[in-house]
């Protein structure tokens, strides 16, 4: 969805942030062994590649780590990693102090995991009669550019008219209940949530390890409401890299906001002073949509119909009226209902969102059809002025709707970054 409203990003939000100190998981290679595979997410693990040979004596190369601390949360304008584990949580207690304690523990754990270190006392070397602090499946793995991004859902502030945590007065006006768009077939079990954590990494096992350990720390305070694994990023925030393809075979993300474009990020992504709730300054609003593709129908469509649907050529990704992918599109040369024409900023008064989408395949639907599609993630300064008008237009007119259905939806307020050790996720909200 929204192939034109996406550009590519570098670490504008993490510039100048210091690399974490402490024992990394690399340091345990050779005495702790490789991590244990965890279901499908273990496919493609890089454990073997991280082990240095005793014969060649070569020192292990430092793994890429994205700084956790900064003015903005990492995982938004950060260069998009290849794998995703996204989880939405319900808060199952009314105890505000317990929730704050959990957020503080989550923050400590997140700082450790993103730095390639184990949680708490680690997975080994603890009292044998007690459960270890870390589940251990990431032992021997590098940080893999892991980022962890937190968001707060509307129901955290007001759930069925109850102000459980004294936060109702701090509910941002921009954190609206998303309207029901034409064609939506939303499933309650794949929608909503009081909190969310977005874990992105280049190794799926590292991303799953992060979510698993945060869920474990939160036991008794939160339950996982729903989660989604993603692979093969379908958008990028680094314009110089190769543009990814979605499961329909088309390049997706040619015109995304770049993470190096500070002006565009300030205009379209980061909440500014005076935008509303003061605690959200430096944050961003996240819309998550699970979009199922009717792959079998799409695969029987002619090449011309596929290209007309997007308004781009399939091989090169060139917009109609152009020769190369990044040529300026001739919107008038495209079918009126083509996705690119409808979603392009020039058709929407310059409106842009920052995309971090991922493909997914979750088996079959029981009728022999793939349950596959796009897990769409969009960050913006104000959802009411970005995603809502854009999706209203696309839902009503986009030819792509013949092949996709929105089945999951959630909306979160992602606060500013944790600036230094000792601060914690949500401090500006709960403080």
| Closest to 150 (Cα-Cα) out of 114, 110, 119, 207 | 110
The continuous run of DSSP H or E covering 114 comes out as helix 96-114
**Alpha helices (runs of H) in 115-251, residue ranges in sequence order:** 204-217
Q: What confidence tens digit (pLDDT) does each residue in 306-354 have?
A: 999 999 999 999 999 899 988 888 999 999 999 999 999 999 999 999 9
Query: How far apart are the C-alpha atoms of 346 and 245, rounded to whole Å?
Result: 23
User: HSE on the CB side for 10, CA within 13 Å?
Assistant: 8
End-to-end CA distance of the chain: 38
Q: What confidence tens digit (pLDDT) does each residue in 236-288 have?
A: 666 666 788 999 999 877 778 988 899 999 999 999 999 999 999 999 999 99
Q: What residues are paired with 226 via a beta bridge?
A: 88
Calculate the average pLDDT of the chain: 86
| Average pLDDT rounded to a whole number, residues 389-414 | 98
pLDDT value at residue 14: 44
For 34-79, the DSSP string reads PPPP-GGGGTT--TGGGPPPTTT-PPPPPPP---S-SSS-TTSSSP
For residue 280, what is the DSSP state? G
Residues of the chain with pLDDT > 70, as a percent, come to 83
Whether the pLDDT of residue 46 is over 50: the answer is no
Whether the pLDDT of residue 51 is over 70: the answer is no
pLDDT value at residue 47: 36
Q: What is the dihedral of CA 201, 205, 207, 209, to 10 degrees?
A: -150
Cβ–Cβ under 8 Å, residues 3 and 253: yes
């Amino acid at each position: 969805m929204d192939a034109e409203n996406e550009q590519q990003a570098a670490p504008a939000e993490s510039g100048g942030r210091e690399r974490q100190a402490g024992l990394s998981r690399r340091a345990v290679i050779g005495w702790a062994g490789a991590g244990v595979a965890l279901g499908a997410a273990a496919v493609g693990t890089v454990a073997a590649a991280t082990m240095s040979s005793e014969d060649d004596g070569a020192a292990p190369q430092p793994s890429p780590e994205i700084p956790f601390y900064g003015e903005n949360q990492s995982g938004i304008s950060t260069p998009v990693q290849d794998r995703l584990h996204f989880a939405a949580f319900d808060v199952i207690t009314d105890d505000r102090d317990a929730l704050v304690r959990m957020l503080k523990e989550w923050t400590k754990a997140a700082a450790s995991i993103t730095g390639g270190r184990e949680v708490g006392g680690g997975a080994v070397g603890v009292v044998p009669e007690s459960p270890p602090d870390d589940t251990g499946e990431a032992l021997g793995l590098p940080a893999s550019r892991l980022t962890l991004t937190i968001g707060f859902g509307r129901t955290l502030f007001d759930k069925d008219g109850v102000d459980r945590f004294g936060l109702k007065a701090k509910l941002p006006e921009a954190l609206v209940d998303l309207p029901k768009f034409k064609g939506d077939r939303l499933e309650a079990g794949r929608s909503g949530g009081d909190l969310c954590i977005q874990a992105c990494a280049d190794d799926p096992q590292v991303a799953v390890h992060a979510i698993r350990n945060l869920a474990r720390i939160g036991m008794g305070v939160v339950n996982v409401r729903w989660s989604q694994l993603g692979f093969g990023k379908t958008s990028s925030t680094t314009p110089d890299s190769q543009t990814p393809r979605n499961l329909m075979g088309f390049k997706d993300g040619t015109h995304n906001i770049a993470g190096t474009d500070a002006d565009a990020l300030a205009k379209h992504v980061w909440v500014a002073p005076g935008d509303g709730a003061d605690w959200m300054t430096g944050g961003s609003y996240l819309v998550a949509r699970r979009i199922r593709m009717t792959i079998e129908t799409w695969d029987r469509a002619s090449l011309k119909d596929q290209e007309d649907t997007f308004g781009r050529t399939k091989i090169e990704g060139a917009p109609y009226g152009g020769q190369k992918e990044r040529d300026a599109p001739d919107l008038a040369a495209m079918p009126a209902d083509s996705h690119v024409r409808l979603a392009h900023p020039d058709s929407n008064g310059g409106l842009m969102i920052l995309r971090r989408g991922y493909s997914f395949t979750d088996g079959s639907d029981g009728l022999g059809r793939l349950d596959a599609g796009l897990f769409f993630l969009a960050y913006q300064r104000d959802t009411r002025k970005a995603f809502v008008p854009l999706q209203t237009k696309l839902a009503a007119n986009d030819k792509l709707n013949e092949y996709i259905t929105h089945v999951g939806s959630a909306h979160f307020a992602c606060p500013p970054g944790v600036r230094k050790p000792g601060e914690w996720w949500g401090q500006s909200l709960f403080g």
